[in-house]
Amino acid sequence: MSHDTDLVQADRGQDAISIHLVARDGFDNWVKKLSAGQRAALTAQKFTGGGYEVGIVPDGDSWFAVGGVADPASLSSWCMAKLAESLPAGTYRLASGEPGPALHGWQLAQYRFDRYRKDDEPTGPRVLLTGEAKAIEPALAEARAVCLVRDLVNTPAEDMGPAALEAECEALAKAHGAKLSVTKGDALEQGFPMVHAVGRAAARHHAPRLMHLTWGKESDPVLALVGKGVCFDSGGLDVKSAAGMLLMKKDMGGAAHAIALAGLVMGAGLPVRLHLIVPAVENAISANSFRPGDVLRSRKGLTVEIGNTDAEGRLILGDALALASEHGPDLVIDFATLTGAARVALGPDYPALMTRRDETAADLIAAGKAHDDEPWRLPLPEAYIEWLKSDVADTNNAHANAFAGASVAGLFLDKFVGEGVDWAHFDTFAWRPAAKPGRPKGGEAYGLRAAFHMLRQRYGNR
């Protein structure tokens, strides 16, 4: 995505190439208005008005574009993304109507992760004009937030370790006048013992730490955002397979979501007292790795028997959620690439959502549906809490059977959230395994827009 050109700009009547949007069922009537030559051009391009189809139509000395969408009167976030991917550099406007939600996909279709490999023949920016001036800045901010998640997740673990996540939090604090405190070393071992235990085997330059950013008036309701920052996950001594380890640079995807969401909250000036909490570790293998069967003490005081060292994300989140609960939060939201079970159940596109309160789940789901970022609720069943029982500690971090892995992980986290606290947990994939228009293969934000728009509705009108 171009960082030096806003890909969405105000329509002030400047020169622009027209884009006509048509649906398959309206294509025959629409095409009758064209000349024989124009119809022939579309026939040659096999354009029929199907979704994501793109056509170029000659028009005297110029040309216009046509895109196939499900319903030109009701656009989604993604229905113009293929146009943005396919059209040449230039400035465009819709022949009729406003792009509205499609501003989002238009920008994200132009995202490229080029930190390590530049495009030999890059296409210049495709700028889309809109007459809805108030929609521009929010659309730009949301697209930048998604691109931040993509960039952080796509970056390999050696370049996106705990120190790099700390640098991202520093940059965020500086940009918004927030306060950042970072806990590491002996203070981490004392104050956040599970974060320390998980991260202690990593190389010194990837030493574990916990970032805590605060922003906003202390009199405003407290919103805590927590993100799992496992910068690489070998599985620890319960080592992953080669295939299971290959994508583990993305295991800090929860932290990426929380950091991006915090930026959106501050950028929108929501009237909240924000706490962003990011525990950052590498789950490495070394002589001082924590072991299966070890019993860890937690910040909350609960003791945790380690049934599996590859269930480490919930350990660092446990300490972080305990910290979040100490500040009298009105709402806590955490993001984590927590379980394979959630992906087995829901696939990559639907983040699993677990909440204590039905109304919080309903608000998040409604916001997600409205912005093409729908989470899917999974339960937190009390009947399964017994699966986390330990013979020697207050709880185990893993359960022996293969049932309900996502929900049982959620139940573990629930033990560390303060009593009565309104809490939502996103078990998100943070990765797109196959490209779709506007959504390349690689790091991806799932649940980010759902959460942000829910927060805007909840706090924006105070």
Predicted confidence at residue 44, as pLDDT, reads 98
Q: What is the mean pLDDT of residues 156-174?
A: 98
Catalytic residue among 314, 432, 449, 458: 314
pLDDT at 461 over 90: no
Q: What is the pLDDT of residues 318-347, one digit of tens each?
A: 999 999 999 999 999 999 999 999 999 999
Q: What is the mean pLDDT of residues 265-279?
A: 98
pLDDT at 222 over 70: yes
pLDDT at 355 over 60: yes
293 Cβ neighbours under 8 A, 6+ residues apart = 305, 306
With left for phi above 0 and alpha for psi between -120 and 50, is residue 134 left, alpha or beta? alpha
Ordered structural domains, the chain, with CATH: 8-131 (3.40.220.10), 141-460 (3.40.630.10)
Indicate the pLDDT class of residue 2, thresholds 50, 70 and 90: low
CA 131 – CA 282 distance, rounded (Å): 47
With contact defined as beta carbons under 8 Å apart, do 145 and 182 qualify? Answer: no
For 333, the token pair is 């939201």
Catalytic residue among 112, 240, 297, 456: 240
Predicted confidence at residue 120, as pLDDT, reads 84
CA 286 – CA 12 distance, rounded (Å): 61
pLDDT at 1 over 80: no
CA 200 – CA 202 distance, rounded (Å): 6
Give the torsion through C-alpha atoms of 320, 328, 446, 132, to 10 deg. Answer: -140
% the chain with pLDDT above 70: 99
Q: In the annotation, is 240 catalytic? A: yes
CA 235 – CA 393 distance, rounded (Å): 22
Predicted confidence at residue 121, as pLDDT, reads 85
Predicted confidence at residue 394, as pLDDT, reads 98
Nearest residue to 462 via CA among 223, 260, 209: 223
pLDDT at 129 over 70: yes
Q: What is the mean pLDDT of residues 373-377?
A: 98
CA 140 – CA 114 distance, rounded (Å): 20
CA 30 – CA 24 distance, rounded (Å): 10
Strands (E), 216-299: 222-227, 229-233, 273-283, 295-297
pLDDT at 5 over 90: no
pLDDT at 159 over 80: yes
Q: In the annotation, is 12 catalytic? A: no
pLDDT at 452 over 60: yes
Predicted confidence at residue 3, as pLDDT, reads 60
pLDDT at 462 over 70: no
Q: What is the pLDDT of residues 104-119, one digit of tens each?
A: 999 999 999 999 998 8
Predicted confidence at residue 122, as pLDDT, reads 87
pLDDT at 252 over 60: yes
Mean pLDDT for the chain? 97
Nearest residue to 214 via CA among 278, 274, 279, 280: 274
Q: What is the pLDDT of residues 432-450, one digit of tens each?
A: 999 999 999 999 999 999 9
The DSSP letter of residue 208 is -
